[in-house]
Amino acid sequence: MRTGLIGTKIGSSSYFSDDGSVVPVTLVKVDECIVSGLKTKEKDGYFAVQLASIDKNSKNPNINKPQKKLFSNLNTLPKKVVKEFRVIEENLLEIGSVINVDHFEKEQKIDVTGISIGKGFAGAMKRHNFGGLRASHGVSASHRSHGSTGNCQDPGRVFKGKKMAGHMGNVKVTKQNLKIVDIDVSNNLVVIKGSVPGKKNTTVFIKDAIKVKK
């Protein structure tokens, strides 16, 4: 288990492979990820690498004192995103070292985590793929409702976690076993087959796939 990377989703595109076939891809830009801290078993109870990436806006930095001290010790500009990645002891890195897109390889399987696009308040058919009520025979003006949600006298309540209408999206989502189609080192881009959680300019976290044969 080794560290991942912090990236920014650029958008969707098409990738033409060597045999002429077209693959739908997502472009993720990875700025330099600086190792800003380490977690050890003796001090913190686990091993992890803390990365910092994506420069903050110089006009409105909003930097607190601990962050000022952290980035001044690293001799770098203040970063917007600081993220920990669990690692094994052998994969701990030195503080101040820099990781780029060449951390990953072409054709590698990865997991990508991001915040999904918010859909607002959604009904049960859109949110949970319910079939809705019948289109005729007594159903009046409630064809897309979810129907009954509770029981009769016993237990006489709606169970927690019941699938109902409500806020959809804007939650942390991880897509697993995505494939890296290409890596553009000169432009710091990772070309990933398929879709990635979030909208454009969303911060995403890329790491090695955990459900793949080593």
Q: Which helix (H) or strand (E) holds 65?
A: helix 65-74
Do residues 105 and 129 both lie within one domain?
no
Please give the Cα distance from 128 to 183 (Å, whole number): 36
Tens of pLDDT along the chain (214 residues) come to 888 899 999 999 999 988 889 999 999 999 888 888 888 888 889 899 989 888 877 666 677 788 788 888 888 888 888 899 998 888 888 888 888 898 899 889 999 999 999 999 999 999 999 999 998 888 888 999 998 888 888 888 899 999 999 999 999 999 999 999 999 889 999 999 999 999 999 999 999 999 987 6
Closest CA relative to residue 181, chosen from 12, 53, 5, 3 = 12
Do residues 35 and 56 both lie within one domain?
yes
Whether 116 and 168 have beta carbons less than 8 Å apart is answered as no
- Residue 214: the pLDDT is 63
Q: Is residue 214 part of a domain?
A: no
Give 169-200 pLDDT, tens digit per residue: 999 999 999 999 999 889 999 999 999 999 99
Range of the domain at 153: 119-168
Whether 171 and 103 have beta carbons less than 8 Å apart is answered as no
Q: Is residue 213 part of a domain?
A: no
Residues of the chain with pLDDT > 90: what percent? 48
Residue 131 in tokens: 């079939």
Do residues 108 and 185 both lie within one domain?
yes
Do residues 123 and 201 both lie within one domain?
no
CA dihedral of 115, 119, 121, 127, whole degrees rounded to 10: -90
Q: What total number of domains does the chain contain?
A: 2
- Helices of type H across the chain: 41-44, 65-74, 124-128
Residue 155 in tokens: 């237990």
CB count in 10 Å sphere of residue 198: 21
Do residues 90 and 78 both lie within one domain?
yes
Do residues 55 and 17 both lie within one domain?
yes
Give 102-116 pLDDT, tens digit per residue: 889 988 999 999 999
Q: Is residue 87 part of a domain?
A: yes
CATH at 23: 2.40.30.10
Whether 5 and 30 have beta carbons less than 8 Å apart is answered as yes
Q: Is residue 101 part of a domain?
A: yes
pTM: 0.83
